[in-house]
Amino acid sequence: MSPVTRMYGVVAMVTALIASNAIAADDKEIIDYREHIMKTLNEQSAALGMMLSMAVPDDNAIAHMEAIALAAKMAPKAFEPKVQGGQSKPEVWTNWDDFSKRMDDFAKKTDEMVRVAKTKGAATAMGNIIEYLPCKSCHDVYRDESKK
Ligand code: HEC
C-alpha cells in the first residue's frame, strides 16, 4: 500500500468516526430537549406543590400555572422526532395517536386550570390540581423510570 493510499484510508476512517459521532450527538440532544421540557414541568409543579402545602405564599400561583400550560404546549413538538432513548418507552412512537392525544388533553387541561384560576381564584384551581395535571397517568404508560 502506498503512503498516499494509506493516508486516504485514514482520512476515510476519521471522517466516518466524526459522522457517526455527529449522529449520536444529535440523538442525545433530541432526548435532552424533551427532558428539559419535562424538568421544567416538574419544577413548576413542585413550586405549586409548595404553595398547596402552604410552605410558601401563593402570590405566584397563577404565574406557575401559566408556565406549566406553556411548557405543556412545547412538549408534543419535542417528542415528534422518533428517537428512542431516555426514559421514553418505544410505545411513545408505536402508539403515537394515543400519546399525542394525551399531550393535547394535557395542554387543554392546563389551559383550563389557568382559566379557572383567573376567573375563580387560584385556590379553586388548586383544589382540582390532580385533574389538571395528568402527569402520572401518562408516565404509567409511556415512561420507564428505571432507565436512569
Ligand atoms: C402525555 C405524556 C406525558 C405527560 C402528560 C407528562 N409527561 Fe413527563 N415524561 C413523559 C415521557 C415519555 C418521559 C420520558 C422522556 C425521555 O426521557 O425520553 C417523561 C419524563 C419526565 C421526567 C424525567 C425527565 C428527566 O429526564 O429527568 C419528569 C421529571 C417528568 N416527565 C415530569 C412531568 C410532570 C411534572 C408532568 C405534569 C405536570 C409530566 N411530566 C407530564 C411523558 C409525559
Q: What does the alpha-carbon distance between residue 22 and residue 37 come to, in Å, rounded to a whole number? A: 23
Provide φ and ψ at 91, rounded to 5°: -60, -20
Q: What pLDDT is stored for residue 13 in this prediction?
A: 66
- Residue 148 pLDDT: 72
Report the C-alpha gap between 91 and 98 in whole angstroms. 9
Cα 13 to ligand 1 centroid, rounded to whole Å? 39
Ligand 1 close to Cβ of residue 73 (< 6 A): no
Model confidence band, residue 9 (pLDDT cutoffs 50, 70, 90): confident
Q: How far apart are CA 133 and CA 125, in angstroms?
A: 11
CA dihedral 102, 104, 106, 112 (to 10 degrees): -140
Indicate if the pLDDT at residue 6 is higher than 90: no
pLDDT in tens, 12-50: 766 666 665 555 669 999 999 999 999 999 999 999 999
What single-letter amino acid sits at 56?
V
Residue 109 burial (C-beta neighbours within 10 Å; 0-12, 13-18, 19+)? middle
Distance 87 CA to ligand 1 centre (A): 8
Please report where in the chains the cell 384560576 appears, as a residue. Answer: 117
Write down the domain spans for the chain: 3-147
Report whether residue 45 contacts ligand 1, using a CB cutoff of 6 Å: yes
Ligand 1 mean position, distance from CA 19 (Å): 30
Any idea what DSSP says for residue 85?
B
87 lines ligand 1 (CB under 6 A): yes
**pLDDT for res 19:** 60
Task: For 112-140, write each residue's pLDDT tens digit.
Answer: 999 999 999 999 999 999 999 999 999 99
pLDDT tens track for 51-104: 999 999 999 999 999 999 999 999 999 999 999 999 999 999 999 999 999 999
CA dihedral 8, 12, 18, 22 (to 10 degrees): 150
The second-level CATH assignment, the architecture, of 3-147 is Up-down Bundle (1.20)
